[in-house]
Amino acid sequence: MKKTLKRRSMVILLLLSMMLVFCFCSCSSSLGASDITGVDSLPGKTIGTQLGTVGDIYASDYTKEGSVIKQYNKGADAIMALKQGKVDCVIIDNEPANKFVKNNSDL
CA–CA gap between residue 69 and residue 95 (Å, rounded): 22
- pLDDT band at residue 94 under the 50/70/90 scheme: confident
11-64 pLDDT per residue, tens: 554 554 554 444 344 444 444 557 788 888 889 999 999 999 888 988 998 999
Average pLDDT over residues 62-71: 94
Q: Answer positive or negative: Cα dihedral of 70, 73, 31, 105.
A: positive
CA–CA gap between residue 49 and residue 71 (Å, rounded): 5
The rounded radius of gyration (Å) of the Cα atoms in the chain is: 13
78-92 pLDDT per residue, tens: 999 999 999 999 998
Q: How far is CA 52 from CA 28, 59, 75, 97, in A?
A: 25, 11, 11, 17
Range in 66-75, 76-85, 91-100 the model is least confident about: 91-100
